[in-house]
A and B are shown apart, each in its own frame.
Chain A
């Protein structure tokens, strides 16, 4: 295991070696938050709007930035001045990147815990073939996480560390700790509310009802009020700690409006590869078709470009427009089957993980203003499942490869092109070969259709990055590469989602509960 630690430290430090590189917007976002939390009193945190990057994470994250800012002042006090928009200096960059690396130690610890409680297949002699080693590499060197955290700059490693740690605790049957960690996580970044149903139902089913009948169905009598109270207490305590001050100040509506900005459009400037991307593409295609066949009047169509600028509100022309409520309903319907599955056919931690992944994926598919980084919420837990069954491994390969590929537009400068391609190749080659060798006694992980789909990513990338910029279409249709990437990946992700759902729903539960 010390080998693993060494491995990760190398990866982390590689991130730092890249740090003289390129600035991204998220860098300024966090610098701004450092400044806000350092200088202004609590009551101003969610009202401050000097910069366009306003505070839109829950209070615990704001406190986290506050703590960081106290260390930051030893590196470069200038970065803490709120008016210094887009301020950068060597020390600032170094401090920010170093803080990500430092907080990632929590992630490393969480991976260590996960590896301990996941029993893979038969233990292999060669360390490279041990399931725990493969899992550790898949998690620690996850391309998406590396790119988003260390190059694009966010603190996801540490947040995913919290999530994985809570998963590990639940697998180890330390339910209260798991619940506590998840509650804390929710107040760090509210995006994790996507997977809250999985947690809620699992805890209710396996913790509050302490026993099952012989055939696996629920034993209503075993309801434990003590457990429910404990859980409730934890959740309330954590929420009180986080939102309490704002409740007292009467700022709760403002905080909520900052956390859930529904004024933003259905899709991000670059469409996350979810269902709505396909929906938009269909709409556009039908529009063009309609124009050509003169079903539609060209003057009535707004010229809004869906990929220009930061966020755009736009209306669909042919298909009905989508409202936030509609997305909420779709998401709810989508997660219902998996939640029912978890309730009626609990299979211990594995069932919980499956439900978690499905919730994350379903919310990704149908959510409002989903960011493509959210795919990591599904990929990382799926890694835990992938080393246990060949079927999951196959789905993981599809999801991970397309998901990671969809992150490419996040890094758009030319110096970063080799890095992202090399890292992507590294991760893809490793995941394919290690999972293939792990499950080499079973049949192929991917069938020919899936393989062809994945291979087609290469020509797509060549076209988008190399051929397209050199053609004249770059001026007229600048969004074409993004559109193509988004739609193509959406196909893959949708397919993986459906396949996972089918495999979960059709799984036959063994009569005797096996401890997994």
Chain B
């Protein structure tokens, strides 16, 4: 069958799944007084439509920052403004100042879901399709299956169309950036990434790899001639994009400082809720929050984060390659997720989307990671009553990946890109003979563990003394998996040999 009809079917399937999940519950449904992210987005539409720009980020009588104050950069605010404009045309009650707090109704839910759907359709999905079509040295069928797997990734669908957020916009823009860089359109790529950054500040997790890659490219071109020109052009592009986004705020330093303060709430603690990162997991053993002061916590987390991502970034600057960029995106974002400050469990999506990009190179590990990342979102999904969509989409995703890539057969050292690494460990050659089987059994074990924990979290009641047992168990298990993945990805990056031209590249 032709490529285009297959791709159309894939997209239609993806859209159907998204809309089906939309019919379910959303974050904070029917839970006054604070509700959830859905109400936050609605509130931002109310704020941006009714108040002048200068008041958006400030605590005024009209704008109570404690009730879902705006804490994303300006592009989110502009997007909310556009949505509010359309909302006003349909039903002004939805965005009336003050009186529309906690507004919930079927038509309104339909409207909000449609905004997410449209944003996804316009930004994220085209990026994925074009990316898959531009994959080199893969058959048409493989391209379509990659697209199918990426588009069916449950985590993004459940968070965006279930819990209710607009991650697909920022992630889509980052994807466009990678796409542009893969065609050597550096300036366009930088613009796309700046837009992504100005949509959600969490994209900073991805900023270092982009920076190192472009810097490395400039170095390669020679710092005296073309490299310097490129560097200047890139710097200029970045500045111009930022200026364009922040234009309405003018040169008022106070405004900009307030926005920054809202974007980076340093006075909050090291972590909130149960999130699958190191600090939360360590707190099971030692109560870090009580041991170290907040300032030291900040410094410690920054130090560990940067230490863990340094090797990959240095390698990328020295040897800029697209493959290196993609892997570096994964490992940097994962380092940030594991060790950084005030991380939300939803930030795992920032790691998952780059992993989706390499799904056709290491299908087995990518599928495994994506399953774990979806699993780590389980406590959040349970809170939002999204258990059913989770229970449906995750096995479906596994089934699709199994069918498209026959991942269980691709567990050898070569398939996992560990050939070079294993060659360096000449002493352990005998251990590597049964490597595929060990890996496969580990995978099945991990799946079983995740399945059991999912069922327990959903069905069983936790013991009285440990009310947070299940969320914590999910977080710790996910964290352990993520640590192993971090090691794995770093190994792959660092042992990536220069002469890949002879071997098969994807």
Contact = CB atoms under 8 A, between A and B. Distances in A.
B9 A129 contact: no
A3 interface: yes
A419 B22 CA distance: 11
Nearest to A438: B1
Contact of B23 (A21, A128, A432, A437): A21
Contacts of B106: 415
A16 B388 contact: yes
B451 to A, nearest CB: 15
Nearest to B385: A20
B9 A17 contact: no
B436 interface: no
Contact of B399 (A6, A128, A425, A434): A6
Interface in B1-45: 1-2, 5-6, 8-9, 12-13, 15-17, 19-21, 23-25
Contact of A17 (B110, B389, B402): B389
Contacts, number: 76
Contact of B2 (A3, A9, A13, A433): A433
Interface string B112-144: 000001000000000000000000000001000
A419 B16 contact: yes
Interface string A7-32: 00110011011111100000000000
Query: At the interface, is chain A mostly helix, strand, loop or mixed?
Result: helix
A21 B22 CA distance: 10
Interface residues of B, number: 32
B392 interface: yes
Contacts of B21: 17
A289 interface: no
Contacts of A475: none
B396 interface: yes
Contacts of A10: 396, 399-400
Contact of B9 (A3, A418, A426): A426
Contacts of A419: 16, 19-20, 23
Contacts of B392: 13-14, 16-17
Contacts of B1: 128-129, 433-434, 437
Contact of B12 (A16, A414, A415, A422): A422
Interface string B80-94: 000000000000000
B8 A437 contact: no
B403 A6 contact: yes
A414 B388 contact: no
B16 A433 contact: no
Nearest to B390: A17
B393 interface: yes
Nearest to A94: B388
A129 B23 CA distance: 34
B19 A418 contact: yes
Given A128-B1, A422-B12, A429-B8, A13 B19 contact: no
A18 B15 CA distance: 13
A423 interface: yes
Among B12, B106, B388, residue most surrounded by chain A Cβ atoms (within 10 Å): B12
B109 to A, nearest CB: 8
B20 A17 contact: yes
A434 to B, nearest CB: 6
B399 A17 contact: no
A430 interface: yes
Contacts of B402: 6
The residue among A16, A18, A423, A425 with the most chain B CB atoms within 10 A of its own CB is A18
Interface string A345-373: 00000000000000000000000000000
Nearest to B12: A426
Given A20-B25, A429-B5, 4 more contacts: A17-B17, A17-B388, A20-B388, A419-B16
20 contacts: A9-B399, A10-B400, A13-B392, A13-B395, A13-B396, A14-B20, A17-B17, A20-B23, A20-B25, A129-B1, A415-B110, A419-B23, A422-B12, A422-B15, A422-B16, A426-B9, A426-B12, A432-B5, A433-B2, A433-B9
- Would you list the 3 A-B pairs with minimal beta carbon distance, nearest first? A433-B5, A426-B12, A13-B392
